[in-house]
Amino acid sequence: MSAVRPSLRRDPGYTGLTTPVESLPAAWYFDPAHYQRELTRIWYRNWVYLCRSSEIGTPRSYATLELGDQSLFVVRGEDGSARAFHNTCRHRGAALCRAARGRFPPAGIVCPYHAWRYNLRGELVQTSSAQVGDGFEMRDFPLYGLPLTEWNGFIFVALTPEPPPFAASFDLPLNRLDSWNLSQTVVGHRLHKILQCNWKVFWENYNECLHCPGVHPQLSQLVPIYGRALLERRDDPRWQDHGADENARYAGGLRAGAESWTMDGQPVGVLFSGLSAEDRKAGHLYMTSVPSVFIVAHVDYVRVVRLLPLGPERTDMSIEFLFRPETLADPARDITRAVEFTNIVMSEDAAVCELNQRGLHARAHRAGVLMPEEYVIRQFHDWVRAELARP
């Protein structure tokens, strides 16, 4: 193919790369020491999506997060506020939560080891010693608090006292999803999968559609521009040939007649009512917060895909499907046509991510090369490098 060179023409505004760009070093995808560096510099210093607010809907209910060698929990206070703490007792460091999800007793947070007791604000309210040492003050031993942001029914936490501004972790303004009224949505289905790949392999796959025509036959029909291996109109170096063409093949969005990401393109849920005509036409809106989550909003449901690293070559992926409550209350509505479609696309991506991981170990392979369509991967790599270098 490359022997036949079309005359070089790149229209103004073309988004793709114009020179080959070296990929990240191959060892960064499996070397345990580098993995630890990424945990410390990226995962422990950025906002990470933990769970939906509804998972700790009632006071005293908690949810934990295991991330690298760190364990933390979030708990709903009697005042309705959620707070995050290291899952560590101030006495001698025992873990406080026995389960991944649960509810503390009315007495509060009681350490399973020597029964130190904390209130839901993390203040130590009782020790178990007959008398305390001279100068011991309970106020000096609160739980180790962590930043928490509750936004649109999502709970994010950070393992550093001073994470970057929450809004800056997203690639779009926080209010971009306002019309979906996400805090009112309900989880209708969950998918979970352990991927045998480094977490960056997943994000690279997410950030390009060069693989779409070969890997995603159904998705390429539903989103015709993906079938051209492009994400957006200007990813085509000759985009001006069809610059005003509203056909989805050139403009992006769903094929004519389709409205949502489902098996037949028809919505499965009650539509979100406040969407703009453009959002309805596009059929999907992506909003991303690296390193842990992306949200895809459709006209009738919203998909939330969370990643957590489990090791240099293992990644936990969990997907939540959010619907309007009316959708889930209506037995005539069959959400499986949406779940099934996602399952197909996700399984296709998982399979190639795992293939990608397997090949990276070749002793001859030092780094890959990015092609023009992979300009968003380049942005991702720049971000990874910048995070690793950030003091």
Per CB under 6 A, residues contacting ligand FES are 89, 91-92, 94, 111, 113-116
Work out which of 236, 279, 313, 349 binds Fe ion, going by CB under 5 A.
Answer: 349
The option from ligand FES, Fe ion, none interacting with 111 (CB < 5 to 8 A, set by class) reads: ligand FES
Select 129 or 266, whichever has its Cβ closest to ligand FES.
129
Neighbours of 88 (CB within 10 A): 18
CB of 205 to ligand FES, least distance (A): 43
Select 82 or 305, whichever has its Cβ closest to Fe ion.
305
Task: Give phi and psi for 185, each to the nearest 5.
Answer: -85, 160
CA distance 222 to 293: 23
CA distance 376 to 286: 14
CB of 97 to ligand FES, least distance (A): 12
The answer to whether 102 and 61 are in contact (CB under 8 A) is yes
The option from Fe ion, ligand FES, none interacting with 328 (CB < 5 to 8 A, set by class) reads: none
CB of 189 to Fe ion, least distance (A): 20
The option from ligand FES, Fe ion, none interacting with 286 (CB < 5 to 8 A, set by class) reads: none
Select 64 or 357, whichever has its Cβ closest to ligand FES.
64
Question: 135 in the Ramachandran plot: left (φ > 0), alpha (ψ -120 to 50) or beta?
Answer: left
* CB neighbour list of residue 329: distance below 8 Å, 6 or more residues apart: none
Tell me the longest C-alpha to C-alpha distance in the chain.
Answer: 86
CB of 91 to ligand FES, least distance (A): 3
Select 127 or 185, whichever has its Cβ closest to ligand FES.
127
Select 111 or 353, whichever has its Cβ closest to ligand FES.
111
Select 62 or 261, whichever has its Cβ closest to ligand FES.
62
CB of 94 to ligand FES, least distance (A): 4
CB of 113 to ligand FES, least distance (A): 4
The option from ligand FES, Fe ion, none interacting with 349 (CB < 5 to 8 A, set by class) reads: Fe ion
- CB-based closest residue to Fe ion: 349
Q: Report how many residues bind Fe ion under the rule CB under 5 A.
A: 1
The option from ligand FES, Fe ion, none interacting with 94 (CB < 5 to 8 A, set by class) reads: ligand FES
CA distance 334 to 339: 10
The option from Fe ion, ligand FES, none interacting with 287 (CB < 5 to 8 A, set by class) reads: none
The option from Fe ion, ligand FES, none interacting with 113 (CB < 5 to 8 A, set by class) reads: ligand FES
The option from Fe ion, ligand FES, none interacting with 114 (CB < 5 to 8 A, set by class) reads: ligand FES
Select 70 or 336, whichever has its Cβ closest to ligand FES.
70
Select 10 or 114, whichever has its Cβ closest to ligand FES.
114
The answer to whether 113 and 92 are in contact (CB under 8 A) is yes
CA distance 286 to 176: 10
The answer to whether 317 and 307 are in contact (CB under 8 A) is yes
Q: Which residues bind Fe ion (CB under 5 A)?
A: 349
